[in-house]
Amino acid sequence: MLQETPLRSVAAGVPGEGKRPHAARPYFFISDLHLSEAIPRTVAAFEHFIRVTAEEADSVFILGDLFEYWVGDDMLSDPFVARMAALMHTLSERGIMLYIMHGNRDFLLGKRFMAAAAAIWLPDPFVITAFGARITLAHGDALCTADRAYMRFRRVARSRVAQLLFLAWPFKWRHALALKMRKASHEGRSRPVSAKYDVTPNGVAALFKRTGTTIIVHGHTHRPARHREPGGTRWVLPDWDLDHGEPRGGYLRVDAEGVRALPLD
């Protein structure tokens, strides 16, 4: 179900709320960090972003694929995961709101994780009002409608029954499956990129029509750009990778001056 809210209206009772005025402070949007211990430079960049860059923000939005994979909130027992959650919790302690949307790799992020990170979960898609503009937020995978096999998988994987059945497996089974899928995904990166894995004009047009907005912000495709679509403007967030090849990363800033894509500090 599509939901909509002015910012902070869902934040009642979150630690840090009301500590300082935020009337003119910007909103920052990131996605597709794919955090794991295997990418220490990317992790360091995220730590800098949370501790330093985000200090001036009213709110930080993570639009999916925060982690490389997530097989259940019992992953919080891992020291690396616990450290990342504690890092994000510092935003709340500084009066900065954190909103997290599920991605295609971490759609099992649950209430325990959100509590540990002091984050508010956002459904996909979600409409916010920021500086007078109505903006649709999405991870982006649901817009890749030409990939019919994935769309079928997505419908099943996002069902509550399928998730409960999967989470009932022993942790080591879930973890082993995630590693197997991760390996297959990495091997697939060497193949030519197919257009069917990108968003489709029909998928984008349908989302503009459904939401009645003229701005969409999403990630997932790892193809950062500003697109002029028939229904409005579509901003694609960059993925982050400072450990392999040419460094990538960045964020979107929304404030009274509009929407801007900015590089990492």
Is it the case that residue 18 has pLDDT exceeding 80? no
Asked whether residue 17 carries a pLDDT value surpassing 80, the answer given is no
* 145, 85 Cβ separation under 8 angstroms: no
256 vs 130: CA distance, rounded Å: 9
Beta strands in the chain (DSSP E): 3-6, 27-30, 59-63, 97-101, 120-122, 126-130, 133-137, 215-218, 225-229, 232-236, 251-255, 258-262
Q: What is the mean pLDDT of residues 76-101?
A: 98
Residue pLDDT, tens place only, 26-53: 999 999 999 999 999 999 999 999 999 9
Was domain 3-260 assigned CATH 3.60.21.10?
Answer: yes
pLDDT of 13 strictly over 70: no
Q: For position 86, what pLDDT does the model report?
A: 98
pLDDT of residue 119: 98
217 CA to centre of own chain: 11
Euclidean distance between CA atoms 231 and 222, whole angstroms: 22
Which residues are 120's β-sheet partners?
99
Phi and psi torsions of 45, nearest 5°: -65, -40
Furthest-apart CA atoms within the chain: distance in Å: 50
Distance, in Å, from the CA atom of 76 to the CA atom of 79, rounded to the nearest integer, reads 7
Tell me the pLDDT tens digit for each residue of 152-210: 999 999 999 999 999 999 999 999 988 888 776 655 444 455 677 899 999 999 999 99
Mean pLDDT over 211-221 rounds to 97
pLDDT per residue over 91-147, tens digit each?
Answer: 999 999 999 999 999 999 999 999 999 999 999 999 999 999 999 999 999 999 999
Q: What is the pLDDT of residue 49?
A: 98
pTM above 0.85, yes or no: yes
Contact 234, 201 (CB under 8 A): no
